[in-house]
Structure formats: C-alpha cells, structure tokens
Chain A
Amino acid sequence: MSEYIIKNGHVFDPVQGIKGDKKDISIKDGKIVDKVSSSAKVIDAKDKTVMAGAVEIHAHIAGPKVNLGRIYRPEDKLFSCTATHGMERMGGGASIPTTFKTGYEYAKMGYTTAMEAAMPPLFSRHVHEEIRDTPIIDEGAFPVFGNNWFVLEYLKNHEVENTAAYIAWLLRVTKGYAVKVVNPGGTEAWAWGLNCLSVNDPVPYFDITPAEIVKGLIEANEYLGLPHSMHIHPNDLGNPGCYQTTLDTLKLAEGFKAKNNFGREQVMHLTHSQFHSYKGTNWADFESGAKEITDYVNKNKNITIDTGNVTLDETTTMTADGPFEHHLTGLNHLKWANVDVELETAAGVVPYIYSPNISVCAIQWAIGLEIPLMMKDPMRCYITTDHPNAGPFTRYPRVIKWLMSKKARDAQVNAFKHKDKVLSQTSIGSIDREISLYELAQMTRAGPAKSLGLTSMCGGLAPGMDADVAVYNFNPDKPVTNPDDIETAFSRCAAVFKSGVQVVQDGEIISIGNKRTLWVNVNVKENPQVMRDINEKFVKYYSMSQNNYEALGHHFVPNPYALEVDATQA
C-alpha cells in the first residue's frame, strides 16, 4: 500500500490532545504511523484544518424503511439527481439519497464511519445489501430490541442472562453492532391500539413496563460488555412535555457502570435528544426543555447523547416508533406508510417540512442547537440530524456553521417569521458560546468513536489507528468574516483518506476505498433454553425459517470486520 504524508496542516485531535498545532500526519499500510519514507506522497495541508475522519453515530441510511421512503417519495428525487461522472455512479434524492449518493456525500464531508440506527432483525439481509452498496464508508447497523417478543418475555421475569444470550445470537445472525431501543414497549403496545407514553405504562399482554425493558437491556448490555451501550430513543418522542419522560428514562441508568474492554464509559446513549427535550402542554405554549435535559446529562457521566438538529428543510421522517408516525400524519396530513415486522418492530414513514415560518419548527431548530451549546463535555454530545428525521445529513456543514458562529445563529433567528416566540420559548438568543474546532473534533470524531467503543480504531490520529483523515479548506488562523465560509469549507473536503486510501480530492470522489461492515461477535456460554425458545418461535410464529433469517456470506457482508467480545466468563 502507498505511503502518504499530510504536511503542515493545523491538526485537531482530541485523542492526543492536539489543538490546532502544525503537524504532519503520516500514513502507511492503512494506518497512521510515526514516520514514512521519503518516497511517501506529500499532501500539502498548509493553512488547512486536519482532523480524523468523522464518525456518524445515528442515521437512517440503509434498510427497508429507508427504501420505503425512496419508493413512495419519487418527488424527493425531483431536481436532485446527478448523472454519472468521474468515479461516481448516478445518484439522486435530497432527504433519502440512493445508497451510492449516501456514500459519496458522507465521504466528501470527511465522514468515514457511519451507523445505521435501526435495523429490523427480520430484514437484516436487506439492510446489509444496502450497506454493501453504499461505497467508501465503514458501516454498522443497530438491530432494534425494545419491542422484541423474546426481550419482552425474558425481561418480564428479569432473566438478564437469557436476554444477553438472545442479544448475542441476534447480533451474530443479523451482523448487528449494538442494542437499539425505540419507544420501548410502545411500538408493541400500538399493535393493541395503545402506546407507552411514560416509562411506567404497561405493555398489553406482556405486562412489562418500558422502565423494566430499559433497565434489563442496560444490564444485559453490560453483562456482555458490548462495545456500544444501550442506544435509546425513549417513549413519548416529539410531544410537548416529553422532557419529563426523557428525564425518567435517563434516571433508569442511575447506579449502572460501564463494563467493557473497548474504552466506553457510558451505559446509555440518548439519541436525537432534541426530539425529547420539549416542555409545555400543547403546541401553543411549546417551549424548550434543553436546560433540564442537559443539566441532568452534565451531572451524570454514564450517559452520552446526540443532538438531532432540525435543519429547516423538507425531509422524510422515518422511525421504528410506528405510533409516532401515525400521530404525525394526523398532524400534517401528508402521506403515511407503515411496515409491521412480525414479532420484532414496526416502522412508519411520513414526509415533513420544517418551515422557518412555523413557530414550532423554529423552536425545534433552537432546541437542537441549545443542547450542544449547553453540554459541558463535548466528548459526550455528538452532532446528528437523526438523518433524515430532523434534516438530511448533508446539512451537517450548516449545523456546524450555526454551532461555530453566534452571528450565523442570530441571522437565522432574525429570519424567522416568529422570531419573538423563538426568543421567548428558548434561550438560544442569550447563548454566546461558539464551538471551537477542537470541540467540533470531539463532537464528530473522538466522542462518537469512544461512545461506540471504536476508540482504538477511529476518531483520532494517533499512530496505530486506522488512517481515516479529513483535510478541510479552513484556516483556523484566519478570523471568520462570513459564517457561510464555515459551511462551504465543511461541505467539501480538500482531501479524505479512508483506511489509508485517498478517496476524495478537492471535493471529488477519486476512489471507492475499501468499505467494511462493522459488527459485534459475542461469545457466550451455551444457553440451550434460549436456543430452544428461538427454534420454537420460528416454528410457531415466524413466517420464515431460521435458515432464511441469517445475513451471512459474501452477498450480504462482503468485507466484514468483527469486534470480538468474550462473554463466556460473565
């Protein structure tokens, strides 16, 4: 493999504590190294910003509900298609881009790793086929567990060991990465015409509460010592007053400590926290609960969060929170689709327009920015748009602009139709903080990598780590006169390396790299009861056989990278 040296860039690397020093980054055989030979290809990064490749912790970019969005929204591709050019195949879609466009867009912004946030286990084969067709970036997928019949039945009797054995089995057959929980119990309750809006609402038939599901899954996750923690989208998403349910959910993590060999410190990751930080009793007195949520998270070190920034775009919402999407279509009257996944989950899809002329949307925008600006430790708060729910991931450069520039935020506030309402219902107007490049590297690289248990692999530039490097046309020594320059710089990298292969040059794709599928292989003690239960469920309930369930082999995972976990001694 070739050698590279990225010279004279301003390096920002929280893993090594480098804060913009001029430093050379050497690459050899796919890894960052101390030094390279004189034949190494030189990349001039003078007056440029150099960071590790960014890590996406939560996006919906592959699988049946993403594809359902693509199928039922041909208008999303209207005027957003690009023809084949250079290395790139044709692509299209604004909020739900095609797989190829997804890979290209992430890479051009300097992202080299991304996690698909909700994989229905039954459709893991579909998820992996799309991951396979998404070029360049390493990807993993989180199977959803929060409404799964096995989990509900085991945790009803607090059988943590059996739950853990089931998780290990499911991660292996679906080539999954982490334990995802969406509206715990609520999606299953919806099959009975109900929902769980608090952590104490019982799930019908199963007679278990969301609180018991969440605590049980944290216990099982730590029993196994998985790389990532339990990753939760709590109950009561998106409703005025939901912050209380969010706080109740966060409190469930109290007393738990992370137990793993991957450097992870949290036991719960709260995703798209913006959607869970609403105060008020209805849409008229709707207000921000960002302070209450961040106050709690700031104090409790065993929790990490991501933001879920509203980007003020027309987008497509999609979640395994089936009842929420049904509720949403009743609010905006736009087309709704739902996929029920037998025994496991259900996902809904509804288009949504976050209009700057609607006060609720403008307040949501402000909350999404308040959260990272109020979080004291950027290593525990990561930038996401819950793509495509709060906005497309292609808007990250704009979110970065808003976070890095008070001037840019003020300009947006002044452009809102209901500016006064935004200022009275949130504190966005009084926050002066501007995120530094070092903090940005924490929020988009070192932080999410640590939360995912990938800290030895990616998210930093220390020798021995994967050579995922992004070079931005941004000179940190020059004061920013126009905040739009920030957005421009972070939209298209000067150069990007993925595992030591240069994939982007001057904003254009020059290689599709060596994409990997990340998954977690857990060895557990033999558990005949769980194996018998799985067999029985397939015989009695599933409409397919176990033989057709597993995502296995070159067709589904052509280039796997397994993180090995030994839980046999647990």
Chain B
Amino acid sequence: METVTITMKNAPALYLEADNVSPDAFAGKTAAQISELHVHEGNTTSALGKYFEVKGDAGATAADTKIVVKGDVKKVKYLGFKMTAGELVIEGNTDLYVGAWMTGGKILAKGDVAAFAATAMKGGDLVIEGNAGNYLGAAYRGDWRGMSGGKILVKGNAGSDIGMYMTGGEIVVNGNVDVHALTHAEGGKLVVKGNAKSKVGGQMIDGEIIIFGSIDTMMPGFKPVGEVELEVDGAKAKFSHFIGDMGERHKKRKGQVVYANLYKKL
C-alpha cells in the first residue's frame, strides 16, 4: 500500500469542499497530479495543491492507497467522500460529511468530526477517536435511506439525530449521545456505552438500540417486555427489554410482527 500525505499549508478563509480527498480520486496518480485535483472554496474552484502540500504517489487502485491528512483541517468538508476502498487517516479535527456515502475502506479520524459524517454509508469502517457531530450515519436531507452497512466507532460523544433512517450496519458510541438517536430507523444497531437523552428510537420500525447508561425520558411508544441478559463486546450484563415504536406501522417477517428492540442496562 502506498501512502500519500497531504498537509495543510494555506488554510482557506472560507470552508473548503475537498470531495476529491479519497483513495478513489487519488488512485493511480502522482503527487503532482493529485495537487491538480479540484477543490471548492466558496464559489471558486481551485487546485488541491493551493491549500495542501502533497507528498507521495498513490497506489494503482483505491485499495492500494492510504491518505494521511495533516495540519489544521477543521474547515475542510467531505474528506473520504464516496470512498470505496483504501485508508484515510485524519490527524486533526475536521468538518462536515467525513466518509459520506462511503461504501468501503477505512477512515480513522483522530480528532473530532462535525455533522453528517458517514451520511448514507453503505460499508467500510469509520473510527472517530474524538467526538462526532449531529446526524452521524443518518440519511441525507429529505432522504429515507440512512446508513445501511459498515461500522462506526466513536470513542468520544456523539451529537443528536445519529442513525436517522438507519437500515443496517452498526454504530458504537463509547461516550454519550444527544437526542433523537435512530429516529425512523428500519434496521441496524446502535450501542451507547454512556448516557442517552430523550426521544431514543422515535418512530423506529426495526433495528436495535443498546444503552448502558441512562435515558432522560423514554419514548411513550416503547413497551417494556421483561429483562434479558446480553453479551456486548465480550461483557455480559442484564438489560430491560423494550419493543416499539408502537405508534408506527409494523412489518412482518416469517409471519411474525417485527418491532424495534431497545435494551437499557439495569
């Protein structure tokens, strides 16, 4: 695997849309060619090399390409946009849409990421060592197709509306999450090691939520059905089991009515 390192040298005055910073766009290109890829700052289009110093040539394919992003990229959006394979490491904090529409490969964000990370993600791995913003793994505005595959790990906290319209895949948050987790979800799994706020799983039709800490206010549409023992990440614990959202339509699978499952640690 070949490594391309891009280092911010001239930080943009406005927010920078860097939808070409992905192993797919870099694949098969030399450092000089990568410098020529376009980025947008406001309504002007210019070359990546205007802002970043590019070192190293990419591999022949996305899968053979690793990108390391260094320097201050907190005003850079769309890193890892639509990536299908390869690796991306972001060393600092960054802005919106990290790994949005990604279908494969690995992203490691060592700092915080802002909202809409992994929008409509279909596959691959996203690890965020800092905090994640709102709408992590959610659907695009107006869309009903959120994260459908892959895995997201947030070592810090996550914001509101994460996993909105999620249909598959897994999100694990080691810290706390804000309101509206997995709204409208129709599949997928969310594990929160810390606390959740209100409206967890509102209008959820299918899928699973496991909360280790507290829930501020339980949705009235979730019904307690007993206690279960679950093994999560190798540790066993007892949980109260709820099903819901009772106010929504219910699918059937093999003749059985399907509900979303919510587990809260006792």
Q: Is there a chain A Cβ closer than 8 Å to B226's Cβ?
A: no
Question: Measured between C-beta atoms, what is the minimum distance from A92 to chain B in Å?
Answer: 13
Are A78 and B140 in contact, CB atoms less than 8 angstroms apart?
yes
Residue of A nearest to B45 (CB): A83
Contact with A along B249-265 (1 / 0, CB 8 A): 10000000000000000
Query: Are A335's CB and B140's CB within 8 A?
Result: no
The range of chain A's interface size is under 10
Does B141 touch A at the CB level, under 8 Å? yes
Q: Which chain A residues lie closer than 8 Å to B139 at the CB level?
A: 75
When the two chains form their complex, are residues B144 and A74 in contact, meaning their CB atoms are under 8 A apart? no
A75 near B140 with CB under 8 A, answer yes
The docked-state distance in angstroms from the alpha carbon of A72 to that of B144 is: 12
Interface string of B203-227 (1 = CB under 8 A from A): 0000000000000000000000000
In the complex, whether A73 has a CB less than 8 A from a CB of chain B is yes
Q: In this assembly, does A191 line the interface, its C-beta being within 8 Å of a C-beta of chain B? A: no
Kindly state whether residue A341 has any CB partner on chain B within 8 Å: no
Task: List A contacts of B144 (CB < 8 A).
Answer: 334-335
Interface residues on B, range: under 10
Q: Chain A residue with minimal CB distance to B144?
A: A334
Partner of B249, one of A72, A74, A333: A333
List 17 A-B residue pairs with CB atoms under 8 Å apart, sorted by A's residue number. A72-B142, A73-B142, A74-B140, A74-B141, A74-B142, A75-B139, A75-B140, A75-B141, A75-B142, A75-B143, A76-B142, A78-B140, A78-B143, A333-B249, A334-B144, A335-B142, A335-B144
The residue among B139, B142, B144, B249 with the most chain A CB atoms within 10 A of its own CB is: B142
Task: Tell me the complex Cα distance, A110–B50, Å.
Answer: 42
For A75, the chain B residues whose CB sits under 8 A away are 139-143
Chain A residue numbers with a CB within 8 Å of B141 are 74-75
Shortest C-beta distance, A328 to chain B (Å), equals 15
Binary flags per residue of A124-163, CB closer than 8 Å to B gives 1, else 0: 0000000000000000000000000000000000000000
Closest B residue to A76 by CB, please name it.
B142
A443 to chain B, nearest CB (A): 36
Q: How far is the CB of A190 from chain B (nearest CB, A)?
A: 21
Within 8 A of A (CB), among B43-85: none
List 15 other contacts, CB 8 Å, given A75-B140, A75-B143.
A72-B142, A73-B142, A74-B140, A74-B141, A74-B142, A75-B139, A75-B141, A75-B142, A76-B142, A78-B140, A78-B143, A333-B249, A334-B144, A335-B142, A335-B144
- Min Cβ gap B161→A in Å is 16
The residues of B that contact A74 with a CB separation of less than 8 Å are 140-142
Query: Which residue on chain B has the smallest CB distance to residue A74?
Result: B142
Cα distance, A113 to B249, chains bound together (Å): 44
Residues of chain A within 8 A of B142, CB atoms compared: 72-76, 335
Which A residues touch B249, using CB under 8 A? 333
Q: How far is the CA of A335 from the CA of B140 in the complex (A)?
A: 14
Distance from A317 Cβ to chain B, minimum over Cβ atoms (Å): 15
Q: Which residues of B contact A78 (CB under 8 A)?
A: 140, 143
* Complex Cα–Cα for A125 and B52 (A): 51
A320-364 Cβ-contact flags toward B at 8 Å (1 or 0): 000000000000011100000000000000000000000000000
Measured in the bound complex, the distance between the Cα atoms of B141 and A408 in whole Å is 36
Query: Chain B 143-158, CB within 8 Å of chain A: the 1/0 string?
Result: 1100000000000000
Measured in the bound complex, the distance between the Cα atoms of B143 and A75 in whole Å is 6
Specify which chain A residues have a CB less than 8 angstroms from the CB of B140 in the assembled complex. Answer: 74-75, 78
Q: Mark A45-82, 1 if CB is under 8 A from B, else 0.
A: 00000000000000000000000000011111010000
Q: How many angstroms between the C-alpha atoms of A76 and B144 in the bound complex?
A: 12
Closest Cβ of chain A: how far from B122's Cβ, in Å? Answer: 15
A75 to B141, CA, bound (A): 6
- Minimum CB–CB distance for A353 against chain B, Å: 10
Residue of A nearest to B143 (CB): A75
| B21 CB to nearest chain A CB (Å) | 18
Query: What's the nearest-Cβ distance from chain B to residue A57, in Å?
Result: 31
For the complex, what is the distance from the CA of A75 to the CA of B140, rounded to whole Å?
A: 7
- From 116 to 174 in chain B, residues with beta carbon under 8 angstroms from any chain A beta carbon are 139-144
Residue of B nearest to A334 (CB): B144
Nearest CB on B from A37, distance (A)? 46
The distance from the CB of A193 to the nearest CB of chain B, in whole angstroms, is 20
- Top 8 closest A-B pairs, CB basis? A75-B143, A74-B142, A75-B142, A74-B141, A75-B140, A73-B142, A78-B140, A334-B144
Bound-complex Cα distance A335 to B139 (A): 14
Cα–Cα, bound, A72→B143 (Å) = 10
Q: How far is the CB of B115 from chain A (nearest CB, A)?
A: 16
CA distance A72 to B142 in the complex (A): 7
A76 contact set on B, CB distance < 8 A: 142
